[in-house]
Structure 1
Amino acid sequence: MRTRPFSIAFIVRDPLPPQRADVATLFGVEMPAYGVHTELVGQGGGTGAGPWRAGGMHVVGSLRSRFASLLAPLWDAFGLLCAWRRARPDCIQVRDKVASALLALLAARLLRIPFVYWMSFPIVEGFEARRDALARQGRWPAWLAHALRAFLSRRVVYRLVLPRADHVFVQSEAMRDWLAGLGIAPERMTPVPMGVDAALFDRRTIAPSHDPRLAGRRVVLYLGRVARSRRSDFLLDVVLRLREQIPEVLLVIAGEAPSVDEMVWMRNAIAARGLGHHVLLTGWLPQAAALGYAVRAEVGLSPIPRGRLHDVSSPTRLVEYLALGIPGVANDIPDQQRSIEESGAGMCVPMEAGAFADATLRLLRDPGLAAHCAERGPPWVRKNRTYDILAREVALSYRRMLAPWGRRR
């Protein structure tokens, strides 16, 4: 694709340097091949080092500051100015921020360039969920602050930012349909589901783990974070049922919790159920080590609680299982259900412990079915969910959006 290069000033919510694949891989690795260069703006706090080779990176402030939520819009405004001084952007894009999105929208109008919003998460509903949790805990001073934030955020995002954005990238088709129901024009939205790095998730290049605790076990995998909000203890109820039928079953939970308290909660839940011999909770692992455990698994589990926050999401976990040739058992949030139906690489069931256990047992006991699912996953991912494929679609959306502003496709 021979095209005129263009530059995006991109304000992100996550800490810099970026770790999420839909920023680090999509924009940092794949998009430059389509002439899309990115000036990242945001706060520090991420791990890792090295230059941002896809453009520039402007780190202003730190998410570790106790005043980060108040100062972030000012930091982002200064970072945007730094990005503009380095390379005048062809558009300004904001990901999952509220006040900064409003400032960026004003800046884009002053510069007479398009404004784009990237919605990877329903941030307003996230604020409202936090508000409601504080009410249940009786923490009324904190509740008041979060209630005010949720109230203002809803009006900024849904009445000012999204209706005036020149384009909105959303996480899934379900998110596009939901926003369309709120009055956002569908033709101004592009779904960009989560994907994988094709080279990184090539099973042939991954060294299997030699952890002796896996020897002689029927390994079932959960790859991802542990949290109360994700109902991670649901996995333990599934294992209780699996153990009754397959005593040698071992659930490997390859991931960490967002806090020490959450990790302690999960370990206590394992002990309370007497599952110490049937659950291996690894904690944080380097990606190569986590993938080493993954390729030892026979089945991958991806339970995602239903509700507004998650029904519009696009979980990476299931796509990773399929890319690695691991049959998946997932519940029926729209993106997971679509992935299973299109790929034929697993089973989709309600998020009930009995249903998950039955589907997992069926795959563990039917080698032919498991092999069939394993074979179908990788080609479907290569065709639909690798970041080189997604980058092409995103680049086309940018060029269509920029065309009326005098940019060539």
Structure 2
Amino acid sequence: MKILCITDQFENSNHSSIEGIFGTYLKEWCKEVYIVYFIKTSTNVSIKENKIYIPYSYKRKNITRELDKIIGLNQIDSIIVRNFFPVLKNVLKNKIRYNYRVGFWHSFPHTFRRLFEAKEENRAVFRKTIEYKLKTYFEKNLVKKCDFLIVMSREFKNTFYPDIDINYLSLPMGVCFNNLPSYKPNSDHLKKFIYTGTVDHLRKTDIIVEAISELKEEFIFDIFTQSSNKTTKKIKNIGDGRINIYPAIPRNELFKRIADYDIGIGLIPENDLYSVSSPTKTLEYYSIGVPVIVNYLPEYVSLFDNMSAFFCDFTKESIRETVQKVLNIPKEKLFAMGLKGKQIVKEQRDYRVLSEKLYNFIKDAYKQQKS
């Protein structure tokens, strides 16, 4: 089987699924696997090993024609398009010509996010609602023409594609366990908490910080983020010396840094935007063996229990009480919880496991279409 994935992610981005699945493990089952990256640093189409680089301006042009010049699309069995609807339109248009199957990989509801944000801010809601309805009508019509659909979770499919009856796969985020460091408890009584990723008003990160800052005990809470906005400014203005915001660091360095902490913060608001997601950072904490404070997102409930995670509601009171509980727990118990969570993630979210799951899904979908 020969598979080509056209991704919306830039090469070397902090999103690991493209390299973890298509760049590494899927090749163990497939004859050939290609990844198409859009780039802004060149005006020429090029290929290096299994990676094809296409100028970003081509995403609304005849991308299949350019790809055919490079590898010959008649030899490709399946093309998977990740998040780019204009690209999906062109790939579907040429499906019969090149005789490949088409899958759409929808990893995050970006169109809905714009409407959700407008409602949260009470800004241009009517216009955003109309735009959302028009765009989703167009997008769903494209997805209906696909041979299969890949989404982050069952909740994603039920929320955004309940009426689309094609083969679909829930393919959540995962972790590549190669060469990762491991958390080891130290004798220091001070507990260290870590949060990595986006900080903004939609994720309500300020509520988390405000809840934790109300505690009297000593601790360290470090936040690593690329964000610079009203929410990060609000957090800094709290002026709690125990809580620090640092710039984001590269992924390979991040894993080494996580190993120095005792607890990860994986709290994400439970709403239509985030309840369908697969929080990557929480999996990364567990891949090192660091236990995490989480709330009742479907993803968390399906993976963890009270022996591997600290569950709480996404409210100031519940967050504060849970952190208070963690501060009174011996580090040896935290270590044991982290190991249990690490084993769960290893068994279910290792990219090797997810790659085999994807391969079997595509293979079975192909057999069903042939029969």
In the TM superposition, residue 405 of structure 1 has moved relative to its aligned partner by: 5.8
Partner of 2:220: 250
Q: Residue 196 of structure 1: which of 175, 193, 196 is its match?
A: 175
Conserved 8 A contact 2:23-2:35? no
- Deviation of 1:330 after TM superposition, in Å, equals 0.7
Task: Establish whether residue 176 from structure 1 lines up as the match of residue 157 from structure 2.
Answer: yes
**What is the TM-score with the length of structure 1 in the denominator?**
0.79
Report how far residue 302 of structure 1 moved.
0.8
The residue number in structure 1 matching 2:115 is 128
Aligned sequence identity (%): 16
Residue by residue over 1:41-65, the C-alpha shift from the partner in whole angstroms, topping out at 9 and shown as x without a partner, is 342159xxx9764x23132226xxx
Report if the CA contact (8 A) 1:233-1:266 is conserved: yes
Alpha-carbon distance in structure 1 between the residues aligned to 2:353 and 2:25: 9
Superposed CA deviations along residues 70-121 of structure 1, whole A, max 9, x for unmatched, are x632164554444553773112211112222222222223333211011111
Counterpart position of 1:234: 207
Flag the 1:154–1:179 CA change in 2: closer, same or farther, 3 A. closer
Structure 2: 5+ residue stretches without partners: none
1:227 offset after TM fit, Å? 2.5
1:335 aligns with 2:299: yes
| 1:72 maps to 2:59 | yes
Residue in 2 aligned with 1:293? 257
Matches within 5 A, 1:351-362: 351-362=314-325
Q: How does 1:4-403 map to 2 (within 5 A)?
A: 6-16=1-11, 19-35=14-30, 37-45=32-40, 53=49, 55-61=50-56, 72-74=59-61, 76-85=63-72, 88-129=75-116, 132=119, 136-137=122-123, 149-158=131-140, 160-179=141-160, 182-185=162-165, 188-203=167-182, 217-242=190-215, 244=216, 246=217, 248-257=218-227, 260=228, 262=229, 265-275=230-240, 277-341=241-305, 344-367=307-330, 369-403=333-367
Task: Indicate if the aligned counterparts of 2:294 and 2:312 stay in contact, CA closer than 8 A.
Answer: yes
How far the C-alpha of 1:387 sits from its partner, in A, is: 0.4
The 1:231/1:93 distance shift into structure 2, 3 A limit, reads same
- Residue 312 and residue 89 in structure 1: after superposition, are their counterparts in 2 closer, same or farther (change >3 A)? same
**Partner Cα separation in structure 2 for residue 51 and residue 235 of structure 1:** 45
- How many residues of Structure 1 are paired with residues of Structure 2 in the alignment? 365
Structure 1 unmatched ranges of 5 or more: 1-5, 63-70, 209-214
CA contact (8 A) 1:364 1:370 kept: no
Q: Counterpart amino acid of 1:173?
A: R
RMSD of aligned alpha carbons: 3.1
Q: What is the identity, as a one-letter code, of the residue corresponding to 2:320?
A: A
The residue type equivalent to 1:201 in the other structure is L
Within 2, Cα distance between the matches of 1:398 and 1:202?
A: 33
**Greater helix percent: which structure?**
1
- What TM-score does the superposition give when structure 2 sets the normalisation length? 0.87
- Alpha-carbon contact 1:255-1:283 (below 8 Å) kept: yes
* 1:112-153 Cα deviation digits (max 9, x unpaired): 32110111112331243355578x446x9xx96x66653432
For residues 374 and 95 of structure 1, the distance between their equivalents in structure 2, rounded to whole angstroms, comes to 32
